[in-house]
Chains A and B, each alone.
Chain A
Amino acid sequence: MEKKKTISVLVTNQPGVLARIAGLFSSRNFNIESLAVGETEDPAISRMTIVATGDELVLEQIIKQLNKLIDTLKVIDMDENEHIERELALIKINTEGKNLTELMHIVNIYKGKVLDTAPDCLTVEITGDDNRINSFIELAKNFGIKEMVRTGTIALARAKKKK
Chain B
Amino acid sequence: MKGGKVLLECLKKEGVNTIFGYPGGVLLPLLDELYNEKDIKFFLVRHEQGAAHMADGYARSTGKVGVCLATSGPGATNLVTGIATAYMDSIPIVALTGQVATSHIGNDAFQETDITGITRPITKHNYLVKNVKDLPQIVRNAFHIASTGRPGPVLIDLPKDVLSAEIDSFEYPEVNLPGYKPKYEPNKLQIKKAAELIEKAKKPIIYAGGGVIASNASEELLKFIEKIEAPITTTLLGIGCVPYNHPLYLGMLGMHGTKYANYAVQESDLIIAIGARFDDRVTGNVKTFAPHADIIHIDVDPSSISKIIKVDIPIVGDAKNVLRDLIEEVKPKRHSEWVQKVLDWKKQFPLTFSCAGAGLKPQKIIETISALAGEDAIISTEVGQNQMWAAQYYKFTKPRKFLTSGGLGTMGYGFPAAIGAQVANPDKLVIDIAGDGSIQMNIQELATAVKYNLPVKVVILNNGWLGMVRQWQELFFGKRYSHVNIEGSVDFVKLAEAYGAVGFKVTKEEEIEKTLKEAFSINKPVLMDFHICREENVWPMVPAGGSLENMLEGELA
Which residues of A approach B to under 8 Å, CB–CB?
A: 11-12, 16, 19-20, 23, 27, 57, 60-61, 64-65, 67-74
Contacts and interface: CB of A to CB of B under 8 A. Distances in A.
Contacts of A74: 179
A20 B120 contact: yes
B74 interface: no
Interface stretch (B49-57, B298-306, B475-483, B491-499): B298-306
Contact of A61 (B116, B128, B180, B303): B303
B179 A27 contact: no
Contact of A57 (B120, B121, B310): B310
Nearest to B127: A16
B141 to A, nearest CB: 8
Given A20-B120, A27-B121, A57-B310, A64 B180 contact: no
B306 A60 contact: yes
Contacts of A72: 179
B306 A68 contact: no
A74 B180 CA distance: 10
B236 interface: no
Interface of B: 116-117, 120-121, 124-125, 128, 145, 177-180, 301-303, 305-307, 310
Given A16-B120, A71-B179, 11 more contacts: A19-B117, A20-B120, A23-B121, A61-B306, A64-B303, A68-B301, A68-B302, A68-B303, A70-B145, A70-B179, A72-B179
Q: Which 4 A-B pairs have the closest CB atoms?
A: A64-B303, A73-B179, A70-B125, A27-B121
A12 B310 CA distance: 32
B302 A64 contact: yes
Contact of A19 (B120, B124, B180, B305): B120
Contacts of B125: 70
Name which of B128, B145, B177, B307 has the most chain A CB atoms within 10 A of its CB.
B307
24 contacts: A11-B179, A12-B178, A16-B116, A16-B120, A16-B128, A19-B117, A19-B120, A20-B120, A23-B120, A23-B121, A27-B121, A57-B306, A60-B306, A61-B306, A64-B303, A64-B305, A67-B303, A68-B301, A68-B303, A70-B125, A70-B145, A70-B177, A70-B180, A73-B179
A7 B357 CA distance: 62
Contacts of A11: 179
Nearest to A16: B116
B120 A65 contact: no
Contacts of B145: 70
Contacts of B180: 70
Contacts of A69: 179
A65 B307 CA distance: 10
A64 B316 CA distance: 12
Contacts of A67: 302-303
A20 B307 CA distance: 20
A144 to B, nearest CB: 42
Contacts of A73: 178-179
Nearest to B310: A57
A20 B180 CA distance: 15
A61 B307 contact: yes
Name which of A12, A23, A70 has the most chain B CB atoms within 10 A of its CB.
A70
B446 to A, nearest CB: 36
Nearest to B302: A64
Contacts of B121: 23, 27
Contacts of A16: 116, 120, 128
A3 B303 CA distance: 20
Contacts of A27: 121
Contacts of A64: 302-303, 305
A62 B25 CA distance: 41
A72 B178 CA distance: 9
Contacts of B307: 57, 61
A64 B304 CA distance: 9
Contacts of B179: 11-12, 69-74
Name which of B116, B124, B301, B303 has the most chain A CB atoms within 10 A of its CB.
B303
A59 to B, nearest CB: 11
Contacts of B116: 16
A64 to B, nearest CB: 4
Nearest to A24: B121
Nearest to B150: A68
B488 to A, nearest CB: 41
B124 A70 contact: yes
B303 A65 contact: yes
A73 B179 CA distance: 4
